[in-house]
């Protein structure tokens, strides 16, 4: 399979994503400049973290107007996989590919720390190698990672089983104490109704080697690989 890693002006986690999927997991990967529009050769698109366009106006507000975003929406409409990490999550929300928005952390501080994430939905292309209720140790690095959605939207997320990851303690207990940014219901990651687009604030590419402190982030990318490889095998049969 092949990953496409989108680069906007101000993106800075693109090389980490490339290292995780190419060097660690031995997958084909290629950088995609935000002015490019042909995504036909890719199986999964990664929107990495960073500060696209310097986060002017709002994080992701300007990136959503980049030429590549029309192609990304078409990519999603075909059922292909997209993962938005940190700023990538913000871009997906701004572009309407995911519901809700990301606002300033309640502490008004930039938070860079390790977090525990409980997998609340493992029936997705992004978490299928995880057990439901299992804990992933993955770091965050953001100033505007506070996920917000109105009550009606929140109800829909739960009705459609779209909440995938939530901040918790090491045992999976979800409390305000372990919410690093004020996100509603400790939400750290959500998925689209069609199950092919995910946004998450934590950085799985920064927990891909033991020397970094955790390899749990690999499970997110391994799930994607598992989903794509399984689909390709079915198509060939």
pLDDT for residue 237: 39
Q: Are 45 and 4 a contacting pair, CB within 8 Å?
A: yes
Angle at 64 between CA 63 and CA 65, to 5 degrees: 85
Q: Which of 17, 34, 44, 86 is catalytic?
A: 86
Write out pLDDT tens, residues 167-202.
Answer: 999 999 999 999 999 999 999 999 999 999 999 999
Does the annotation mark 142 as catalytic? no
Strands 101-103 and 187-191 turn out to be unpaired
Structural domains in the chain, CATH included, are 2-236 (3.40.50.880)
Residues 6+ apart with CB under 8 A from 111: 105, 140, 141, 142, 143, 145, 180, 181
Q: Are 225 and 233 a contacting pair, CB within 8 Å?
A: no
Does the annotation mark 22 as catalytic? no
Can you read off the two tokens belonging to residue 168?
């918790």
Does the annotation mark 86 as catalytic? yes
| Nearest CA among 172, 221, 237 for reference residue 43 | 221
Q: Are 182 and 139 a contacting pair, CB within 8 Å?
A: no
User: Which stretches in the chain have pLDDT values below 50?
Assistant: 232-234, 236-237
């Amino acid at each position: 399979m092949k990953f496409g890693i989108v680069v906007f002006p101000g993106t800075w986690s693109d090389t980490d994503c490339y290292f995780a999927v190419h060097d660690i997991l031995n997958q084909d990967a290629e950088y995609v400049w935000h002015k490019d529009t042909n995504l036909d050769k890719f199986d999964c698109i990664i929107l990495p973290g960073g500060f696209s366009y310097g986060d002017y106006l709002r994080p992701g507000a300007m990136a959503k107007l980049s030429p590549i975003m029309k192609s990304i929406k078409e990519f999603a409409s075909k059922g292909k996989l997209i993962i938005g990490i940190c700023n990538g999550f913000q871009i997906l929300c701004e572009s309407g590919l995911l519901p809700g928005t990301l606002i300033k952390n309640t502490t008004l501080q930039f938070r860079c720390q390790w977090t525990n994430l409980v997998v609340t939905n493992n029936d997705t292309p992004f978490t299928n190698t995880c057990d439901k209720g299992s804990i992933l140790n993955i770091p965050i690095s953001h100033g505007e990672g506070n996920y917000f959605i109105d009550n009606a939207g929140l109800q829909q997320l739960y009705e459609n089983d779209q909440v995938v990851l939530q901040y918790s303690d090491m045992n999976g207990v979800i409390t305000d104490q372990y919410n690093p940014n004020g996100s509603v219901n400790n939400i750290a990651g959500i998925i689209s109704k069609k199950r092919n687009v995910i946004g998450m604030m934590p950085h799985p590419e920064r927990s891909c080697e033991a020397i970094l402190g955790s390899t749990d982030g690999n499970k997110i990318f391994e799930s994607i690989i598992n989903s794509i490889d399984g689909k390709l095998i079915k198509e060939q049969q």
